[in-house]
A and B are shown apart, each in its own frame.
Chain A
Amino acid sequence: ELKVEQNPLFLSMQEGKNYTIYCNYSTTSDRLYWYRQDPGKSLESLFVLLSNGAVKQEGRLMASLDTKARLSTLHITAAVHDLSATYFCAVRFMDSNYQLIWGAGTKLIIKP
């Protein structure tokens, strides 16, 4: 079964703190995506991770991929209020005609 598990589903944190969102998936993947969605808006691509050990950073966000553990993390450093949004991971599975499966999303609220 193709599964993508994202946690936590909800995260409330203070500005200035660090935190990590986790994305586990069930079987072989050739790429993993992280997206941001603001309320009432569409999805914005953040990162595309293609290979084991891949690490990408943009501002206060850093994403990494461990294909052996089937795990990706999205790390937030010194959070600021503007990062409040819902974050989704999506995994493209090789075993099922490259079907893209989405995580449930993590709603992140950063309090000033």
Chain B
Amino acid sequence: SAVISQKPSRDICQRGTSLTIQCQVDSQVTMMFWYRQQPGQSLTLIATANQGSEATYESGFVIDKFPISRPNLTFSTLTVSNMSPEDSSIYLCSVERTDYGYTFGSGTRLTVV
């Protein structure tokens, strides 16, 4: 299955600032997915990132708050903008591998203070 390198693994940020999370996949993939997982909760899809087009955001998530880049078929970034304590979560990127299911990055644990 695909190997995803995600960084940073964790960060503590001041409110009002922004953090960019990077995911690098070891092979080309069409779609990359960005999730948020709040403590003790399940996964919530933020957006789907396709190379060469704008990301598709799920209800409750907007581009101004969570801008996404997808410059090529192996890389994507998610920025959490103008952070507040409510943004404290684990953020995960994911890709699909047919017959293997979805593979996840190691996650970014974000704490906003």
Contact = CB atoms under 8 A, between A and B. Distances in A.
Q: How big is chain A's contact interface, by range? A: 10 to 19
A33 B42 CA distance: 14
B102 A100 contact: yes
Contacts, number: 38
Q: Is the interface of B mostly helix, strand, loop or mixed?
A: strand
Contact of A41 (B43, B100, B107): B107
- Give the residue among B41, B99, B101, B106 with the most A Cβ atoms within 10 A: B101
Interface of B: 1, 33, 41-45, 92, 99-107, 109
Given A48-B100, A48-B101, A100-B33, 9 more contacts: A31-B101, A40-B109, A42-B92, A45-B101, A45-B103, A88-B42, A88-B43, A100-B102, A105-B41
Interface of A: 31, 33, 35, 40-43, 45, 48, 88, 90, 100, 102-105
